[in-house]
Amino acid sequence: MSFQPARIVITGIGLTAPNGNSLSEFRQNLLAGVAGVEPFDVRYMGRLIAGVCHYDPLRYQTRKGLRVGTRAGSISIYCAHEALKDSGLAFDAMPKDRVGIYLGCTEHGNVETENEIYAISKFNYDTKYWSHYHNPRTVANNPAGEISLALGITGPAYTIGAACAAGNLGLIHAAQMLRLGEVDFAFCGGVSESIHTFGIFAGFKSQGALATHADPKKASRPFDKARNGIVVSEGGCIYTLERLDDALARGARIYGEIAGYCVNSDASDYVLPNPGRQAECVRKALVNARLKADEIHIVNTHATATPQGDIQECEAIRAVFGQGCPETSINNTKSYIGHCMGAAGALELAGNLPSFDDLVVHPTINVDDLDPLCAIDGLVLNQPRKVARVDAILNNSFGMLGINSTLIVKRFAA
Amino acid sequence: MTKDACKQIVLDIIADIAPDEDLSNLKPDVRLRDQMQLDSMDFLDIVMELRKQHGIEVPEADYIHLASLDSCADYLTPKFEALGK
């Protein structure tokens, strides 16, 4: 008898993106071509551009909670509350030790450490002025822990460090934990407070990978010939995941079913992507999902608008979807919101999920002059595309140190 | 530095630390913890802000003197005066 893992479904979504604070607002702006990048002051570096979230933090937090906690924690609390509300779960009746929180993070703690160093610089670097909140703010599990405190969740709550692949990994790990029976209900996804650390901007600038453009909304332009790097953004997206039987038993709305996934590693370079390993990741995810390439109707690319990285991902996609996939549309969500780092994979998937219902694929915007090396079949450029069907969405998220993740979500069918 | 002025300094610090609290009815002779939500990290905040804003050090053994507004004033006023404030 072969093992049949439990089917896992998405039943709630809460998010904040630079261009929307709910799935409906986010989706509306993706279809209307509204980007969310704006001028942003960065310590030591002056006025740059970034993707900034404008959710109301006091909707679910006290002012003291905001003061004590972190930006990532605040984003997480907002998204978790929104996801829970969206799920319709009777949370009071839910045993809190059977709830898990699994959040992907690109990094955590840089913001808080930089803030403390800046603060003690005003006191001649005397460490007696260093905050007693530094350690609880910088522990890697902080964003997940802040949710557990806010919602009284006593099950496992931790983060998964996976560079910019982390958002996908939050969902993948949650699905695994649900299948193992470790928890009965999971909050999962990704979060990023990256714009509040100058280090990430300075690092990308030193690497020659920080986007610039006179018009911030045009700055994030994957696949365009004139692309010149990454727009750093903050954001969060948290899903509620459940085993199908539990979701059906309570009559939950189902956004989609986790069909399959793969996580692998390049083992080749600190920062340069490896198209061969990326293609392998996508292929393994297809096998895991028991789907063929031509059964994928939307591919959300990871492409961050670096000159080399976009070409390499296109090479990987061409290798898998280049032939015999006439119904596969390919898009990119970072062109609207920049790179939301740990939240990127989770947010970009969310932006595409409504396609199951409206059969519209949001485009990659800001492509004025398509780079021929990025001209892959199925690329949706600048205008939304109405399609005949959307039964499976494949979401790529890749990260530094060569971590690749592919997550496939399919339309729920009983 | 009068004791009332000292209490106001402590109140201003508490207002920053606990911005959701209504401080208008705080009784000066009652322990702060018995009248509002203040945990041990908040008390460390009071100590830190006294250090940062006013250059006053409160050794750990003396934290007990920060229990109420009155005890704060009794303990801190001489320290402010010693600094010429």
- Put simply, the answer to whether B51 touches A131 (Cβ < 8 Å) is no
- The candidate with the shortest Cα–Cα distance to A190, out of A349, A298, A386, A25, is A349
Phi-psi region of B48 (alpha: psi -120 to 50; beta: other; left: phi over 0): alpha
- pLDDT for position A217: 98
Distance of alpha carbon A192 from alpha carbon A237, whole angstroms: 9
The pLDDT of residue A1 is 55
Question: What pLDDT was estimated at residue A2?
Answer: 66
Report the SS3 class of residue A393.
strand
Q: pLDDT band at residue A326, thresholds of 50, 70 and 90?
A: very high
Task: Establish if B27 touches chain A: CB-CB under 8 angstroms.
Answer: no
CB B45 within 8 A of CB B69: no
Distances (CA, A) of A144 to A69, A96, A191, A203: 12, 14, 10, 26
Average pLDDT of span A66-83: 98
What mean pLDDT value characterizes chain A? 97
Q: Cβ distance B2 to B85 under 8 Å?
A: no
- The dihedral through the CA atoms of B25, B30, B32, B36 has a sign that is negative
Mean local confidence (pLDDT), A311-338: 97
pLDDT tens for B28-53 read 999 999 999 999 999 999 999 999 99
Q: Report, as residue numbers or ranges, the catalytic residues of A.
A: 164, 302, 339
Q: Where are the alpha helices (DSSP H) in B1-85?
A: 3-17, 40-54, 69-82
Q: Over pLDDT 90: what percentage of chain A?
A: 99
Identity of the amino acid at A412 = F
**Nearest 10 degrees: Cα torsion A379, A218, A103, A141:** 150
Fold (CATH) for B3-82: 1.10.1200
Nearest-angstrom CA–CA distance, A395 and A297: 11
DSSP for A247-290, written as a single string? HHHTT----EEEEEEEEEE--S-SSS--HHHHHHHHHHHHHHHT
Question: Where do the domains of chain A lie, and which CATH numbers do they carry?
Answer: 8-249 (3.40.47.10), 260-410 (3.40.47.10)
Cβ of residue B26 closer than 8 Å to a chain A Cβ = no
pLDDT, one tens digit per residue, over A1-27 is 567 899 999 999 999 999 999 999 999
Residues in CB range of A85: below 8 A, 6 or more apart: A12, A14
Q: What is the pLDDT of residues A350-365, one digit of tens each?
A: 999 999 999 999 999 9
CA distance A40 to chain B (A): 26
The ipTM estimated for the assembled molecules is 0.94
**Would you list the domain boundaries of chain B?**
3-82
**Burial zone of A269 (CB within 10 Å; 0-12 exposed, 13-18 middle, 19+ buried):** exposed
Q: What digits encode the pLDDT tens for the residues A187-240? A: 999 999 999 999 999 999 999 999 999 999 999 999 999 999 999 999 999 999
For A278-305, write each residue's pLDDT tens digit. Answer: 999 999 999 999 999 999 999 999 999 9
> Are A368 and A224 contacting, i.e. CB atoms less than 8 angstroms apart?
yes
CB A384 within 8 A of CB A335: no
What is the C-alpha to C-alpha distance for residues A41 and A43, in angstroms, rounded to an integer? 7
Pairing relationship of beta strands A329-332 and A403-410 according to DSSP bridges: unpaired
Residues of A in contact with B48 (CB under 8 A): 129, 131-132
Distance CA B32, CA A196 (A): 34
Is 0.95 surpassed by the pTM of this model? yes
Report chain B residues whose CB lies below 8 A from the CB of A131.
48
Q: What is the pLDDT of residue A155?
A: 98
**Separation of CA A154 from chain center:** 25
Task: State the best of B23, B39, B45, B58 to mutate against chain A, taking most chain A CBs within 10 Å.
Answer: B45
| Average confidence (pLDDT) over A398-408 | 97
Distance CA A83, CA A85 (A): 5
A118-142 residue pLDDT tens: 999 999 999 999 999 999 999 999 9
